[in-house]
Amino acid sequence: MGIEIERKFLVRGEDWKAWPAQLLSQGYLSRDPARTVRVRIAGDAAFLTIKGQSVGASRAEFEYPIPVDDAVALLSLCEGPRVEKLRRVIPYAGMQWEVDEFLGENAGLVVAELELLHADQGFECPPWVGAEVTDDLRYFNSALAAHPFSRW
């Protein structure tokens, strides 16, 4: 178990596109914000991830590696459409930013996430980082599975 402390921002421009991308495909066995259960395939790896209720930027997180074959079968059990995105990990000022370019029904949405060690940790924003959306529930990936960006 761990506590995930994460801040989330909209992304501007296209400068982040130069970095290599990995395709993530994920679905939800539970989209309840108090207990989301996510199935994710990332290349040749797969994970089952449980997250608790968000309190500000913090959230309990439990992640277990599972066989990719299991993940494929579990995705077919998931609620609603799956979420697909290209993830780029971009270092900036000593931090690792994760830039997610959403595909499919969420195409057009690009979000940057920054994982912190504690909630009031300072950091420097790259020039392509826009408005913060950490507290906006619509940007939760579990919410994007139910209410994709194209239908906002």
- At residue 120, what is the residue type? D
Closer to a second copy by Cβ: residue 62 or 152: 62
**What is the closest distance, in whole angstroms, from the C-beta atom of residue 78 to a second copy in the complex?**
7
Binding site for a second copy (CB under 8 A): 1, 29-30, 32, 34-35, 37, 48, 50, 52, 60, 62, 64, 66, 69-70, 73-74, 77-79
Residues tagged active-site: 28
Distances (CA, A) of 78 to 1, 44, 72, 101, 149: 23, 20, 10, 22, 19
CB 73, CB 27: distance < 8 Å: no
The distance between the two most distant Cα atoms of the chain, rounded to a whole number of Å, is 41
- By C-beta, is 97 or 141 nearer to a second copy? 141
Q: Write down the least CB distance from residue 30 to a second copy, Å.
A: 4
